[in-house]
């Protein structure tokens, strides 16, 4: 066990999420479950997974820290949430109440709510306030087992305010153990106070903001909302072309209320097309034939009271399905990835393996990260540990079984008994 620094176990089960396809359906029988297991760690990486008794023999002959677990424990890879908006100011509780009383998304926006309300409140917030809010929400995700969390800008909608948001995300990441993956969503909507048309705004962002993002290393990801009340497929073309030329990865808010966004995702070889609640069989088949990850956001469906993304059809067509929380102040305030993924599985008839893949290995693929989302030699030692005897209990209880421990980069960062 040369180089090993820690041995953790025994686990009743370790579910490494290895040997699974990136695309298409997965049956529960394809899921590897290692019983009576231990995990050895070398620095911030996994060294090996195997029978705890066998690994323990090696431990006895070396100076290795032993983390001995009591009771029944099941280990999953740290969860990967590939789509959130947790950097924001204010609240949209009023929007939620209005939706439940019968008002539509567009009616609320016209009455002063919606995205623009959050833009106004985020602009008023200091960078320090945004850092504090982001850290607070990210810690909540961490305690629910998420160790990698994508975070978008998009509530600034000007050069300076988008920079403020992305700096806040960067500073929050430096404070936290969890990994925050920043994404620039300056193309969230046309700012109401912008003196020009959509094409002018997008050109300004691309020509002025993009170089600053590169210079200051604030993000390597560009997102856009393609929708009737945001930007059209035609308007966004030059914007994504510029992003591609500058070497940014692309992700897209696609097919939430109307179709068109997923075709843009294919055109620009985006890493992912997210939402997809409005996708028809045409879009499903196009996505399935591509390398674009289809990311379902059940939190938005729960928050808005609308249909879920057609997850079952996407998988049956051969597509790659990730599942993310879309945690945001307007349409998806819950932010509990496990609960949302379990509910999506119930309504869309997804196997446990498909749900778990969506929030681990396939979520990591949506972020173009190959070193996490699975437990294997050389991968980051990101562990979500649950006090239960069978991994299937985790989804069965729909998020009410919280992690007993969370490890990030080989370090214990949350212990339910101590925190």
pLDDT tens-place string over residues 178-237:
999 999 999 999 999 999 999 999 999 999 999 999 999 999 999 999 998 899 999 999
Residue 2, pLDDT above cutoff 60:
no
Strands 403-408 and 411-415 turn out to be: antiparallel
Helix (H, G, I), strand (E, B), or coil: what is residue 206? Answer: helix
In whole angstroms, give the CA distance from residue 226 to residue 52. 50
Q: How large is the greatest C-alpha to C-alpha distance in the chain, in angstroms?
A: 71
Higher pLDDT, 252 or 104: 252
Strands 179-187 and 221-225 turn out to be: parallel
Name all domains of the chain by residue range, CATH numbers in brackets: 6-77+374-415 (2.30.40.10), 80-366 (3.20.20.140)
Residue 62 is predicted with a pLDDT of 66
pLDDT tens-place string over residues 150-179:
999 999 999 999 999 999 999 999 999 999
Q: How does the average pLDDT of the chain come out, rounded?
A: 96
**Backbone φ, ψ for residue 360 (5° rounding):** -130, -95
Residue 58 is predicted with a pLDDT of 66
DSSP summary character for residue 176: -
Look at residues 409, 405, 394 and name the one whose alpha carbon lies nearest to residue 345: 394
Peptide bond into 10 cis (omega under 30): yes
Give the pair of three-digit tokens for residue 97.
Answer: 């109440």
C-alpha to C-alpha distances, 328 to 115, 158, 279, nearest whole angstrom: 10, 19, 22
Give the pair of three-digit tokens for residue 267.
Answer: 């055109």
The whole-model pTM stands at 0.97
Residue 302, pLDDT above cutoff 60:
yes
With 0-12 CB in 10 A as exposed, 13-18 as middle and 19+ as buried, what is 60? exposed
Residue 85 is predicted with a pLDDT of 98
Q: Which of the four pLDDT bands, split at 50, 70 and 90, describes residue 5?
A: confident
pLDDT tens-place string over residues 346-360:
999 999 999 999 999
């Amino acid at each position: 066990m040369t180089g090993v620094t820690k041995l953790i176990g025994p686990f009743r089960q370790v579910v490494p999420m290895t040997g699974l396809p990136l695309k298409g359906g997965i049956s529960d029988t394809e899921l590897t479950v290692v019983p009576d297991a231990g995990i050895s760690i070398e620095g911030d990486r996994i060294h090996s997974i195997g029978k705890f008794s066998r690994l323990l023999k090696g431990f006895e002959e070396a100076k290795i820290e032993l983390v001995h677990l009591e009771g029944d424990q099941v280990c999953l890879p740290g969860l990967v949430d590939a789509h959130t908006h947790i950097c924001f100011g204010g609240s949209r509780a009023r929007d939620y109440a209005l939706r439940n009383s019968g008002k539509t998304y567009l009616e609320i926006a016209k009455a002063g709510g919606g995205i623009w309300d959050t833009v106004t409140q985020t602009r008023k917030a200091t960078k320090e306030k945004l850092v504090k809010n982001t850290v607070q929400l990210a810690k909540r995700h961490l305690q629910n087992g998420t160790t990698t969390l994508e975070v978008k800008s998009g509530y600034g909608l000007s050069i300076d305010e988008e920079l403020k948001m992305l700096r806040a995300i960067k500073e929050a990441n430096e404070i936290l153990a969890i990994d925050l993956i920043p994404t620039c969503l300056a193309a969230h909507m046309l700012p109401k106070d912008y003196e020009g048309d959509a094409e002018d705004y997008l050109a300004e962002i691309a020509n002025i903001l993009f170089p600053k993002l590169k210079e200051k290393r604030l993000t390597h990801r560009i997102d856009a909302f393609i929708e009737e009340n945001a930007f059209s497929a035609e308007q966004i073309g030059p914007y994504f072309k510029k992003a591609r030329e500058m070497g940014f990865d692309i992700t897209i808010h696609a097919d939430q209320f109307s179709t068109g966004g997923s075709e843009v995702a294919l055109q620009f070889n985006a890493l992912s097309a997210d939402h997809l609640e409005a996708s028809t069989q045409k879009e499903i088949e196009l996505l399935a034939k591509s390398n674009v990850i289809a990311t379902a956001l059940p939190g938005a469906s729960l928050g808005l009271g609308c249909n879920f993304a057609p997850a079952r059809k996407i998988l049956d067509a051969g597509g790659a399905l990730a599942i993310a929380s879309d945690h945001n102040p307007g349409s998806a305030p819950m932010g509990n990835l496990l609960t949302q993924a379990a509910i999506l599985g119930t309504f869309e008839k997804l196997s446990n393996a498909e749900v778990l893949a969506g929030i681990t290995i396939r979520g990591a693929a949506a972020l173009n990260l190959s070193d996490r989302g699975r437990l294997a030699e050389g991968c980051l030692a990101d562990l979500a540990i649950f006090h239960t005897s069978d991994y299937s209990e985790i989804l069965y209880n729909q998020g009410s079984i919280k992690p007993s421990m969370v490890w990030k980069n080989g370090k214990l960062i949350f212990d339910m008994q101590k925190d």
